[in-house]
Amino acid sequence: MSTAVFAERNYLNEPAGLKAWLLTLDHKRIGVMYLCAIMFMFMLGGFFATLVRLELLTPKQDWFEADTYNQLFTLHGAIMVFLFIIPSIPAAIGNFVLPLMIGAKDVAFPRLNLASWYIYVLGAFVGIYSMISGAVDTGWTFYTPYSTTTNTSVVSMTLAVFILGFSSIFTGLNFIVTVHKLRAPGMTWFKMPLMIWGLYATALIQVLATPVLAITLVLLMLERLWGIGIFDPAMGGDPVLFQHFFWFYSHPAVYIMILPGMAIISELVATFSHKNIFGYKFVGFSSLAIALIGFLVWGHHMFTSGQSELSSMIFSFLTFFVGIPSGIKVFNWVATMYKGSISLKAPMLWVFSFLFLFTIGGLTGIFLGALSVDVHLHDTYFVVAHFHYVMMGGTVMALMGGLHYWWPKIWGRMYNEFWAVISWALVLVGFNMTFFTQFILGTRGMPRRYYSYLDQFQPLHGFSSVGSWILGLGFIIMGVYLIHAIFKGRPAGANPWGGLTFEWKTSSPPPHHNFDAAPIAVHGPYDYDKVKAESTFFDYAAGREVPRKETVNQ
Amino acid sequence: MNDQGTFWLPPAHSTVAAETDALFYFIYWISVLLFVGVVAATLFFFIRYRRRKSPDYTINPHNNTLEITWTVIPTILVFVVFIWGFRGYINLSIAPKDALEIKVTAQKWFWSFDYPAGATTVNELVVPVGKPVKLLASSQDVIHCFYVPEFRVKRDVLPNRYTILWFEATAVGDYQIFCAEYCGTKHSEMLAKVRVVTDVEYNAWLDANANIGAGLAPEEFGAKLYTGKACVTCHSVDGKPGTGPTFLGVFGHEVQLADGSKIVVDENYVRESILQPQAKVVAGYQPVMPTFQGILKDREIDALIAYIKTLKK
With a cut of 80, say whether residue B50 has pLDDT above it.
yes
Euclidean distance between CA atoms A79 and A288, whole angstroms: 27
> Does position A87 have pLDDT exceeding 50, yes or no?
yes
Q: How confident is the model at residue B212 (pLDDT cuts 50, 70, 90)?
A: very low
Per-residue pLDDT of B113-172, as tens digits, reads 888 876 777 788 999 999 999 999 999 889 999 999 999 999 999 998 899 999 999 999
- How far apart (Å, rounded) are the C-alpha atoms in residues A158 and A127? 8
Q: What are the distances in angstroms from CA A2 to CA A256, A486, A493, A494, A542?
A: 41, 20, 9, 12, 9
CB atoms within 10 A of CB A113: 28
pLDDT at B55: 76
Contact state of A376 with B154 under an 8 Å Cβ cutoff: yes
Rounded to two decimals, the pTM is: 0.86
On the CB side of A82, how many CA atoms lie within 13 Å of its CA? 36
Q: Tell me the three state secondary structure of residue A547.
A: strand
Give the integer Cα–Cα distance in Å for A355 and B70.
Answer: 17
Nearest-angstrom CA–CA distance, B219 and A434: 53
Closest partner residue to A320 (CB to CB) among B38, B78, B158 is B78
Contact call for residues A516 and A10 (beta carbons, < 8 A):
no
What span, in angstroms and rounded, lies between the C-alpha atoms of A368 and A320? 10
Q: Percent of chain A scored above 70 by pLDDT? A: 95
Cβ atoms of B263 and B257 closer than 8 Å: yes
Gap between the Cα atoms of A414 and A487, Å rounded: 10
Across the interface, whether the CB atoms of A341 and B55 are under 8 A apart is answered: yes
**Confidence category of residue A202, pLDDT binned at 50, 70, 90:** very high
Q: Is the pLDDT of residue A1 over 50?
A: no
- Restricting to B residues 172-211, those with a Cβ less than 8 Å away from any Cβ of A are 176, 178-189
Give CA–CA dist A245/A229, Å, rounded: 15
| Best mean pLDDT range from A215-224, B17-26, B257-266 | B17-26
Average of pLDDT values for A335-348?
A: 93
CB atoms within 10 A of CB B87: 14
Q: Of A329, A448, A314, A333, which Cα lies nearest the Cα of A387? A: A448
Helical H runs in A370-517? 371-377, 381-390, 397-411, 417-443, 458-488
pLDDT for res B228:
65
B9 contacts A443? CB cut-off 8 A: yes
The CA–CA distances, whole Å, from B301 to A49, B103, B275 equal 44, 12, 9
**Cα(A181)–Cα(A75) distance, integer angstroms:** 39
Looking at this protein, which amino acid is placed at residue B117?
A: A
Residues A198, A27, A553: CA angle, nearest 5 degrees: 70
Check A342 against B51: CB less than 8 A apart. yes
Q: Locate the chain A residue with the closest alpha carbon to B138.
A: A306
Q: Is the pLDDT of residue A533 over 50?
A: no
pLDDT tens string B246-274: 999 889 889 999 888 999 999 999 999 98
Burial label, B94 (beta-carbon count in 10 A; 0-12, 13-18, 19+) = exposed
* Mutation for testing the B interface, residue in A142, A301, A304, A341 having most B CBs under 10 Å: A304
Question: What's the number of CA atoms in the CB half-sphere (13 Å) around residue A231?
Answer: 28
- What's at A223, amino acid-wise? E
> CB under 8 Å to B94, separation ≥6 — which residues?
none
Give the nearest partner residue to A372 out of B7, B20, B70, using CB atoms. Answer: B20
Residue A475 corresponds to which amino acid?
F
Which of A101-115, A284-298, A515-529 has the weakest average pLDDT? A515-529
B286 touches chain A (CB under 8 A): no
Cα A143 from chain centre: 24
Q: Sheet of B144-148: strands edge to edge?
A: B124-128, B192-197, B173-179, B144-148, B153-157
Asked if the model's pLDDT at residue B292 lies above 90, the reply is no
CB atoms A66 and B185 under 8 Å: yes
The confidence score (pLDDT) of residue A385 equals 97
Report which secondary-structure segment, H or E, holds A545. strand A544-547
**Lowest mean pLDDT segment, chosen from A47-51, A200-204, A239-243, B278-282:** B278-282
> Who's near B102: CB < 8 A, 6+ residues apart?
B113, B114, B115, B116, B125, B127, B133, B134, B135, B136
For residue A544, the model assigns a pLDDT of 54
* Chain A contact set for B42 (CB, 8 A): 334, 337, 352, 355-356
The candidate with the shortest Cα–Cα distance to A216, out of A137, A142, A138, A152, is A142
Residue A260 has pLDDT above 70, yes or no: yes
The length of chain B is 313
Q: What is the pLDDT of residue B56?
A: 79
What is the nearest CA distance from B305 to chain A, expressed in angstroms? 20
Distance, first Cα to last Cα, chain A: 10
β-partners of residue B194 are B125, B175
Q: Per the CB < 8 Å rule, is B23 touching A303?
A: no
Looking at residue B190, its pLDDT comes to 92
Give the pLDDT mean for A238-245: 92
The interface residues of chain B toward chain A in range 256-275, judged by CB-CB distance below 8 A, are: none
The yes-or-no verdict on residue A489 having pLDDT over 80 is yes
Residue B242 burial (CB count, 10 A): 12
Is B71 in CB contact (< 8 Å) with chain A?
A: yes
Q: Which chain B residue lies closest to A332 (C-alpha atoms)?
A: B67
Interface test with B, best of A372, A452, A523, A531 (most B CBs within 10 A): A372
In this structure, are residues A189 and A278 in contact, taking their beta carbons and an 8 Å threshold? no
* Contact at CB, B276 and A236, closer than 8 angstroms: yes
User: With bands split at pLDDT 50, 70 and 90, how would you rate the model's confidence at B295?
Assistant: low
Give the ipTM of the model, two decimals please.
Answer: 0.91
Confidence of residue A436 (pLDDT cuts 50, 70, 90): very high
Is the pLDDT score of B214 beyond 70? no
Report the pLDDT value the prediction gives residue B103, as an integer from 0 to 100. 92
Q: How far is CA A92 from CA A27, A33, A180, in A?
A: 10, 8, 20
Q: Helices marked H in chain B — which ranges?
A: 17-48, 64-93, 199-210, 218-228, 267-275, 298-310
A222-239 CB burial, b ≥16 within 10 A, e <16: ebbeeeeebbbbbeebbb
pLDDT band at A128 (very low <50, low <70, confident <90, very high): confident
Give me chain A's average pLDDT, please: 91
Q: Cα separation of A90 and A257, whole Å?
A: 9
Q: What is the mean pLDDT of residues A212-237?
A: 87
A357-411 pLDDT, tens digit per residue, is 999 999 999 999 999 999 999 999 999 999 999 999 999 999 999 999 999 999 9
pLDDT classification of A546: cutoffs 50, 70, 90: low
CA dist., res. B95 & res. A309, Å (int): 13
Q: How many CA atoms lie within 13 A of B254 on its CB side?
A: 5
Query: For residue A421, which of A496, A509, A352, A338 has the smallest C-alpha distance?
Result: A352
Residue A540 in this model has a pLDDT that exceeds 50: no
Measured CA to CA, the distance from residue A445 to residue A460 in angstroms comes to 12
CB-based contact B185 A306, cutoff 8 Å: no
One DSSP character per residue, A473-495 reads HHHHHHHHHHHHHHHHPPB--S-
B-chain CB neighbours of A324 within 8 Å are 71, 74-75, 78
Please state, in angstroms and rounded to a whole number, the distance separating the CA atoms of residues A96 and A264.
13
Measured between beta carbons, which residues in chain A are less than 8 angstroms from residue B54? 341, 532
Q: Return the percent helix, strand and coil in chain B, to nearest 5.
A: 35, 25, 40
Say how many CA atoms lie within 13 Å of B278 toward its Cβ. 5
At B298, the pLDDT band (50, 70, 90 cuts) reads confident
Contact: B46, A449; criterion CB under 8 Å? no
CB contact under 8 Å between B85 and A449, yes or no, is no
Under the banding of pLDDT at 50, 70 and 90, the label for residue A538 is: very low
Alpha helices in A227-238 (DSSP H): none
